[in-house]
Amino acid sequence: MELQISNVSTISLAKEFGTPLYVYDQQKIIQRINNLKEAFPNAQICYAIKANSNHSILKLIAQQGLGVDCSNRFELELAEKAGFNLTNSVFTSTNPSDTDLKKALSTNILMNLDHISIFQRLKKIGLPKRISFRINPGFGKGKFPEIDVGGKDSKFGMSEELATECYHLAKESGIEHFGIHMMTGSCILDEAYFEKLILTMESIAENIENKVGIEFEWMDIGGGIGVPYESFENHLNLKSVGERIKHSKKSNAILVIEPGRYIVAESGTLLTTVTTIKENFVGVDAGMTTLIRPALYGAYHPIVLANNIYLEETETLTVVGPICESTDCFAKDRPLPKIKEGDILAIQIAGAYGFTMSSQYNGQPRPAEVIVSNGCYSLIRKRETTEDLVKNEL
């Protein structure tokens, strides 16, 4: 039986649009958003645009009433075009340029700054009505070390002591509305971690409020809500996470969360054609330019034979792409069915940090993207051509 996504044949999609091809399940995106709303009914939910920034997907998410989390002026502009309400959104940047700060200031978005020098630069441009600072609590967590964004070696955030100085300076500058931010890791599947995070934030927030004489109106714990990529992993019990946070949070500050991966990762599938069988190597037309996570982190993605999902796994194979790098590998020594040239493989859970991290290395045009829903499908990004590779060159 062919792999179906929302009652649409992946083989038919591959034939019509070619491969590599990203396919997104619209209903999964909506369901994940509804799960978040149920688990965090009083929270301000801001989608982390970095996870997947396709315009059609952004419009879909904005239509569900979510805010957005942006990290630079370009993401702010994408969010505006998609229809997000930026006054109910957050700007969380690291090492922003003055141009980034000017754009953020013009939108009235809640600005999260992660160093005092950035606030000093901002003061020369203008003062927002509200401000938030990003604190590094000295610990972090992530599925891979590369996506652990807390602790002593992290470039993100600042110490409680420096943050206290920032809030003093902001108050003296005339700002009257304050938030506090603490994003420490990505793809976390440990319920207790989020409880630890809110308890730590509550303690730090109370210290700063007492020292500076302010009251926090927003408490932003960032993103980090993971999804299971591997068979031994389980989904987070989001309702349980929500209850833990609810019981641990004593402050009246509005809870802000910034999920990205959770909303879009499981909706996405990357279809790729088998071009070459070479001993135990299966060569495909997608590469690390199409989906870099396996090369970048050693990340695991499930891979199935889209032509027949019920074939028994009788082989041990290594799936590789066409890029001139040894790291261009999607799976090493993976149990798979017997595969032949011309078959279609489906690399799953590819909706987050897939296309957004793609490149044109080795002269590879970026792939097309399609969204499916209940038997219907639409092309939401055309495949690039050679002309696209050179159109901005002089």
- Sign of the Cα torsion 147, 148, 149, 155 reads negative
Q: Which residues of 124-150 are buried (b: 16+ CB within 10 A; e: fewer)?
A: eeeebebbbbbbbbebbbbbeeebbbb
Query: Residue ranges per domain, the chain?
Result: 4-23+265-382, 89-259
Say whether 89-259 and 4-23+265-382 share the same fold.
Answer: no
Is the bond preceding residue 322 a cis peptide, omega within 30 degrees? no
Q: Cα(60)–Cα(369) distance, rounded to whole angstroms? A: 15
pLDDT in tens, the chain (394 residues): 999 999 999 999 999 999 999 999 999 999 999 999 999 999 999 999 999 999 999 999 999 999 999 999 999 999 999 999 999 999 998 899 999 999 999 999 999 999 999 999 999 999 999 999 998 876 555 554 654 455 566 667 788 899 999 999 999 999 999 999 987 777 888 888 888 888 888 999 999 999 999 999 999 998 889 999 999 999 999 999 999 988 888 889 999 999 999 999 999 999 999 999 999 999 999 999 999 999 998 999 999 999 999 999 999 999 999 999 999 999 999 999 999 999 999 999 999 999 999 999 999 999 999 999 999 999 999 999 999 999 999 9
What positions carry a catalytic annotation?
Answer: 324
Residue 215 phi/psi, 5-degree rounding, is -130, 130
Which long-range contacts does 232-239 make (Cβ < 8 Å, 24+ apart)? 233/189, 234/189, 235/189, 236/189, 236/191, 237/191, 238/35, 238/36, 238/38, 238/39, 238/40, 239/38, 239/39
| CATH architecture, domain 89-259 | Alpha-Beta Barrel (3.20)
- Residue 151: what pLDDT? 56
- Residue 378: what pLDDT? 98
Report the half-sphere exposure of 85 (CA within 13 A, side-chain side).
9
Q: Is 200 left (phi over 0), alpha (psi -120 to 50) or beta?
A: alpha
**In whole angstroms, what separates CA 259 from the centre of its chain?**
7
The position carrying tokens 């999902």 is 309
Do 60 and 24 meet the contact criterion of CB atoms below 8 Å apart? no
* Topology (CATH) of 4-23+265-382: Lyase, Ornithine Decarboxylase; Chain A, domain 1 (2.40.37)
Do 34 and 42 meet the contact criterion of CB atoms below 8 Å apart? no
Report the half-sphere exposure of 336 (CA within 13 A, side-chain side).
26
H or E segment and range at residue 79: helix 73-82
Coil vs helix vs strand at 160: helix
Q: Cα(271)–Cα(286) distance, rounded to whole angstroms? A: 8
Q: Cα(240)–Cα(248) distance, rounded to whole angstroms? A: 12
